[in-house]
Amino acid sequence: MRRPPRETEESARGISRRALLLGVGQTALVAGLTLRMRQMQIVDAQQYRLLSDQNRINIRLIPPARGLIFDRNGILLAGNEQNFSAVIVREDAGDVPAVLQKLAQLIPLSQEEIDRTERDLKRHSPFVPITVSDRLSWDELSRVAVNGPALPGISPEVGLSRYYPLVEDFAHVVGYVGPVSESDLAHLTDPDPLLQIPKFQIGKVGFEAIEEDKLRGTAGLKRIEVNSVGRVMRELDHKDGQPGENFQLTIDAKLQDFALARLQNESAAAVAIDVQSGDILASVSAPSFDPNKFVRGISTADYEAYNTNDHRPLVNKAVQGMYPPGSTYKIVTALAGLKSGTLKPTDKIRCPGYIEVGGRKFHCWKSSGHGVLDLEGALEQSCDVFFYTVAQRCGIETISEAARTMGVGVRPDLPMTGLAEGLAPTKAWKLKNRKKEWLIGDTINSAIGQGYVLATPLQLALMTARLATGQAVMPRLIKSVNGVDVPIVPPDPLPMQGAHLNAVRQGVWKVVNSIRGTAHGARIEDPTMVMAGKTGTSQVHNITAAERASGAYLNLPWKERDHALFVCYAPFDAPRVAVATVVEHGGADHQAAPMARDIMLFALTGGMPPLSAYPAGVRSTVETLQKNLQLHDFSAENTVKTRA
């Protein structure tokens, strides 16, 4: 049956519309694909090329060179040495245990190191390189490199590691670095990505820790190309980081070396300060330790040996050790009495050998007494009764205020760890910390540096420097940063009369230079280097009346013997250096004084003290001592030979 013409025309028009719509759709689709292909191949080509490269390019951090530390004369105290190591990347290694076992056949690798590496790999991202073994020899590094194809994920690395050429001399001042730990990271809110690198070294104690952010520097970057199995093919790009800042300390390495050797095997500390600038010239704590052992992680045996030593080599006694200052504190008591007006330089006080207060006897060190003395004589002979009397007159608040003025009981602002504040006690302090009222006996004990009074060797050196100059000398440790000198801030004058300071100075001059002085045997004979000083003995064992009567206190065990102290400055007429020494349990023979004198002479002369500066009667003994000192050899430039 034939369709009508009208129906046929309508059907044709419908087909034409559908064909047109289909054609438009096809055209739009082709155009969209064309535009998308243009976008991908031309406009976004760089982006997709980068995404593709990421499948074969790794980006790694480059640890920067740690800043160097020098002494005041440019002698290296903390440097960096080349360190060969083998690292592993978990993402590239595949079968990690198998790879590590192969590596163990090429280089010395204990099961402990293997286990530690596997733990580190699990704790970090699979792309982070983990150090398997460091301190490799050149031959060991070469074996790792040559066998690279058989060790997927393993690559040899050449980096830097910290070392301390003067070994124990600066262990307590400079401190040391060690591998970053979980504990280190836990204390940081926004840790540097460098710290995520296993075995990355950061400052642990001392100057290294305080100035860590400046010494560390900033990381560099490198892009490396790897093949399909993760083997490094080539380095595409390398951008070095910013090295850490270089520091020059105020300490004189030769003086530091001599001072530590002079303390010999004692448990002791010594500090020397330039009284004009406040520069710390030496700060030693004996015995010391080898900081290089901590750089790679100290062994349990070595740490136990240090930790169980009753002379406490790991403690920085110069700034952490708090000791009753003993009779060196009579300088403070004298100044307190003079400033308050309760004591005049010409006042005379009789010493019968003791003073009785509240039904209790407080003895003088000389049981028969010193007779009638003025201030200079009381300092010269270190009469306890004289200062007991002064303390009763002026009171503990005045004494402690004078102590803080002189630097005792105030924490110094220095880039050192463990700085102790010391203690200049007051009535309020005892009530708060001991829950007891202050007693007159407490004041009397404080007058001679006993009781609650505590000071560090650094504070005692600072006290002496302030006495010598009449200025509020501030200690400093940094001389320059990156070659730019740190300016010296002129100190303010002490709030004390010059006549009062001179009266005390004359007394401490007599301590050393008068025949009756308690440190006469430690005097300096050279008239250009005449020294003033003050001896001190602080009890650590309460001597009973029976022990005093029998003399048993003279033969106490080492840990119950008195500490020996000495503070001094020289030259007397034009002070340059102040020194403080503390010998733990050194007894009452004042061996601290000869040590301080020798350190003073070395500081003033710049080398081994000449025998002509010593009293004639001790020159042969001093000569023998000097010959037996084990010192570093500073003769060759940039070369330091360690002690035998």
Name the residues annotated as catalytic: 327
Angle of CA points 268, 603, 271, to nearest 5°? 30
Cβ–Cβ < 8 Å for 540, 562: yes
HSE (CB half, 13 Å, CA atoms) of 575?
Answer: 27
Q: At 335, which amino acid appears?
A: L
Which residues have CB under 8 Å from 319's CB, separation 6+? 283, 412, 414, 416, 418, 419, 420, 456, 457, 458
Q: Are 354 and 486 in contact (CB under 8 A)?
A: no
3-state secondary structure of 94: coil
Beta bridge partners of 563: 538
Q: How far apart are CA 62 and CA 159, in angstroms?
A: 9
Q: Which two tokens stand for residue 135?
A: 């301190």
**Separation between Cα atoms, residue 80 and residue 292, nearest integer Å:** 12
- Which residues, other chains included, contact 38 with Cβ-Cβ below 8 Å and sequence gap of 6+? none
User: Going by DSSP bridges, is the β-strand pair 69-70/247-249 parallel, antiparallel, or unpaired?
Assistant: parallel
Contact yes or no for 310/518 (Cβ under 8 A): no
Residues near 400 by beta carbon (within 8 Å), at least 6 away in sequence: 409, 424, 425, 426, 446
Q: Are 177 and 77 within 8 A, CB to CB?
A: no
The conformation of residue 193, written as its DSSP 8-state character, comes to G
Helix residue spans in 518-572 (DSSP H): 545-550
Helix (H, G, I), strand (E, B) or coil at 362: strand
DSSP 387: H
Nearest to 362 by CA among 382, 342, 386: 386
Residue 321 makes CB contacts below 8 A (sequence gap 6+) with: 269, 285, 315, 420, 456, 457, 582, 584
| CA-wise closest residue to 202 among 182, 184, 220, 221 | 184
Neighbours of 58 (CB within 10 A): 18
Alpha-helical runs (H) found in 78-222: 90-93, 96-104, 111-123, 138-146, 182-186, 206-210, 212-216
Beta bridge partners of 184: none
CB 120 within 8 A of CB 196: no
Q: Is 84 helix (H, G, I), strand (E, B) or coil?
A: strand
Q: Where does residue 296 rank: exposed (0-12), middle (13-18), buried (19+ CB within 10 A)?
A: middle
Helix (H) or strand (E) holding 69: strand 69-70
